[in-house]
Structure 1
Amino acid sequence: MKNSTQPQSSFKKLCRKLSPERKDSSSQRQHDNNGEDKNRDLEAVFAYMDANRDGRISPVELKKSFETLGEQLSDEEAEAAVRLSDTDGDGMLDFQEFSQLIKGDEKFTEEEKKVELKEAFRMYIDEGEECITPRSLKMMLKKLGESRTTDDCKVMIQAFDLNADGVLSFDEFALMMR
């Protein structure tokens, strides 16, 4: 369920797949030459995804990069991945934002992680609601291209529903995402 509940996860997975430094992490590239190799790898992946060479990756470029590699990314996933990583609010990923995303959570403070989780959580709740219901989960999964029945969604929620109320609160969602 983790992949379908966090739009960003498939984006991270693809970027890590593209990045040579992730492929041969066992040798750690002879201690990374002070990070120069990592930056070159990230620059190469970024350049590959930045099709129009404007120094930013749009959701459309992100989606096309996935398609080129034989991976699927919905419009909603591409937009969510960019939105969740876009710190300057321009609707695109510059190299710095892209780099932060790929380098992972170790760079984020606990507060930044919580803000990111809340943004992801909000994508799964209906307007006016405070929790993820089977109905809202079904609707979001459909937007992400995954068709599930309401009963399937109830089962998915049950797996992480600590107080057995049939819905996921933010705290339950946060535990699930760890």
Structure 2
Amino acid sequence: MSSISQEQKTMSSISFNDLHRIFNKLDKNGDGLICLQELKWLFDRIGIQLTMEELESFLEKPSLDFNEFLFFYESISKQNKGECKGGVGCLQDDHEEEMEIVYMAFKVFDMNGDGFISCDELENVLSRLELWDANRNDIDYCRSMIRAYDTNLDGKLDFEEFKNMMLLTT
């Protein structure tokens, strides 16, 4: 794992540790590789519809090791981002794209579309991604996760609270 750069460890949308956990969860057979079927399973779970042919064409290989997975994540998270040489406009574009990503993530968690993320919705999405241990009694843990960012103390997260959580924890 020594070939992982510091830039890869500080990716913007999802932390390095979260990406490592996701990779390990996807690697069902523990061979240190994620095959196309495992990657397609993830996309299906988060609502991105890709055919196996589209995925094969995009990756041009049958499986990814962790470093390739990081590169893949980095490339899709920067997709549609133009080359930027560092002006004020660049910072604005980066901020707008980051907000769009956060908003899309919010919509995934806000399953009933009411503009809030409840504890049940949070648990449901994390369970679908297999990042939630349903065997533990985690309802208190779920509430404490929400409570940490619930500034108006209504027991759920609105978009601003969710945005603060996402931007402060990455």
Q: TM-score, normalised by structure 2?
A: 0.50
User: Structure 1 length as normaliser, TM-score?
Assistant: 0.48
